[in-house]
Amino acid sequence: MYKQVMLLGVLLEKPMYGQQIREFIEAHHDLFANHIKKPTIYYQLERLVADGYLEIRRETVEAPGPGAAHEDVALRERDMYYVTDQGKGYFSNLLRDMISKFTPGLSEVDACLYFLHHLTAEEACMLLYERLSLVEAYHNAVIQLRDASHTSDAAHQLVNDHKLALLDAEMRWLKRTIEQISLGATGHPHAAPTTHSA
């Protein structure tokens, strides 16, 4: 549902055409850009139109050309997306609902932890180290993105703080779990010591 919140929120700023929406998200909501690709944007836009939350108006606007002519900005006809009154109400309800709710659920790693005993302690630690390295790399990437970003408004600060807090918690849990497995505290035989640069 966050994709619908993102699209409706962006279009409440101003009406846009499809490619313009994508570029706006890339420029202003970079944390979401990798999770809401162009085909997904158009699929969600079609759903929002079908449900009456958006309407399409064919308009002549300044827009880049297709493909190699992208730098060639000229007056072109585009399908502009407008949020309807029904869409404004839907966005308002969705926003309040999603902010106030917490939906617990198992992640992929949670499901796998039930079957960790199928691995040796050494392999379990090695795989968790791999996961830790990926989480640390993403944590550093979020920090770099935050520090390099030209948009440092309160909303972006909240999003980055939330993301970093979750990543910090994941890293602490991984380090603690690796240590417990290494010491045999989880029922695994003791693992050989493994070095990791934190």
How many percent of the chain have pLDDT more than 70?
88
Across 76-100, average pLDDT: 94
Q: Which residue has the higher pLDDT, 63 or 164?
A: 164
* CB 64, CB 73: distance < 8 Å: yes
Q: Assess if residue 192 is contained within a domain.
A: no
Q: Assess if residue 193 is contained within a domain.
A: no
Q: Assess if residue 195 is contained within a domain.
A: no
Q: Assess if residue 32 is contained within a domain.
A: yes
**14 and 82 belong to one structural domain:** yes
**95 and 16 belong to one structural domain:** yes
**62 and 122 belong to one structural domain:** no
At 198 the pLDDT is: 43
Domain around 116: 108-182
CATH code for the domain of 47: 1.10.10.10
At 196 the pLDDT is: 53
**93 and 20 belong to one structural domain:** yes
Q: Among 50, 73, 100, where does a domain finish?
A: 100
Q: For 132-191, how does the pLDDT look when each residue is reduced to its tens digit (9 = 90+)?
A: 999 999 999 889 888 877 666 788 888 889 999 999 999 999 999 999 999 886 666 555
At 197 the pLDDT is: 47
Q: Indicate the pTM of the whole model.
A: 0.70
Q: Among 67, 100, 133, where does a domain finish?
A: 100
Q: Among 77, 100, 123, where does a domain finish?
A: 100
**123 and 45 belong to one structural domain:** no
Across 187-198, average pLDDT: 52
Domain count, the chain: 2
For residue 71, pLDDT over 60 is answered with yes
Nearest C-alpha neighbor of 138 from the set 35, 36, 4: 35
At 179 the pLDDT is: 94
**67 and 20 belong to one structural domain:** yes
Q: Assess if residue 40 is contained within a domain.
A: yes
**7 and 83 belong to one structural domain:** yes
At 9 the pLDDT is: 92
| Interatomic CA distance for residues 49 and 118, integer angstroms | 49
| Interatomic CA distance for residues 22 and 141, integer angstroms | 21
For residue 34, pLDDT over 80 is answered with no
**6 and 82 belong to one structural domain:** yes
Cα of 168 vs its chain's centroid, Å: 17
Assign 3-class secondary structure to 110-141: HHHHCCHHHCCHHHHHHHHHHHHHHHHHHHHH
Q: Which run of H or of E encompasses 87? A: helix 85-100
Q: For 93-128, how does the pLDDT look when each residue is reduced to its tens digit (9 = 90+)?
A: 999 998 888 877 777 888 888 888 899 999 999 999
